[in-house]
Amino acid sequence: MLTSNSPVGVGVRGMPFAFGTFTGCFISLIFISWFRGHVKWLVFISSVLMTVGCGCLSLARVDNIHAVYGILFIAGLGVGGITVPVSTIATIVCKGEYIATITALTFTVRIVGGAVGYTVYYNVFAHKLVSELKEVLGMECVRLGITNPTLIAQVINLTAASLVKEIRYLPGINENTWAQLVLAGQTAFSNAYPWAYYCSVGFGAVSVLASLFLEDLTEMMDDSVVAMQWANENRESNQQESSS
């Protein structure tokens, strides 16, 4: 059974989001070609899916993990529908000679944005997790007859580091006690995670609002290939210099 923090379990639970992201990229890129420059509503719908999907992840609890797979896929659809298509749109609207710079900027913005987002989410999550572990796991230790402050602190620290197997080897912890402590730790994590997803709704709302300001790109989308166009212009320039 794929539970807790086993490497295989973590990998399997991450697959719906990964497949959703891939599917979102694939569908959005097809729609960009079909709808030509009418991309406003495509980006808007993707932003809404991303915001709603990530926000609904706050509904995850210890006992409904299977229901979350569908939500992860929807969130991935939204993320995939924005990530690559927005980079494509950026290269469409820029001049040919700046395409390399714009491409580099899109990667930079993505990386910097990810770092900022991770920092915000992690700090919010860590702040909430500390209080939840002290309250939920600390009370569970007392209920199970564990009153040694040092032992309680060890249980909390090991749970916070996801080293739940090591709790089993602490003095006075039997198999039944260990199972209940792990469940209490999972409950504390599930109580802390929603706050990170609440923050994601704020970022998502900004992306939804920004998508409404996209204009029609029909006139900018043609069958020209920028690399070939640049090569031809460069060749013509060299020929003129040689003749002169």
Alpha-carbon distance of 159 to 73, in angstroms, equals 28
Q: Apex CA 5: angle with CA 18 and CA 145, to 5°?
A: 150
Contact indicator for 196, 121 with CB cutoff of 8 Å:
yes
Residues 202 and 66: their CA atoms lie apart, in Å, by: 26
Residues 6+ apart with CB under 8 A from 210: 47
Residue bearing tokens 């900022």: 116
What residue type is assigned to position 227 of the chain?
A: A
- Residue 233's pLDDT is what? 54
Please tell me the predicted confidence (pLDDT) of residue 139.
Answer: 93
Q: pLDDT tens per residue, the chain (244 residues)? A: 344 567 777 788 889 999 999 999 889 888 887 877 678 888 899 999 999 999 999 988 888 888 888 999 999 999 998 887 788 888 777 777 778 888 888 888 888 988 998 999 999 999 999 999 999 999 999 999 988 999 999 999 999 988 888 998 998 888 999 999 999 999 999 999 999 999 999 889 998 998 888 877 766 666 655 554 555 555 555 555 566 5
Backbone angles phi, psi at 94, to 5 degrees: -90, 165
Q: Please state at what angle helix 99-132 crosses helix 175-211, rounded to 10 degrees.
A: 140
The answer to whether 57 and 197 have CB atoms below 8 angstroms apart is yes
For residue 136, the model assigns a pLDDT of 93
What pTM did the predictor assign? 0.77
Q: What is the pLDDT of residue 224?
A: 59
Contact 28, 81 (CB under 8 A): yes
* Distance, CA of 150 to CA of 99 (rounded, Å): 59
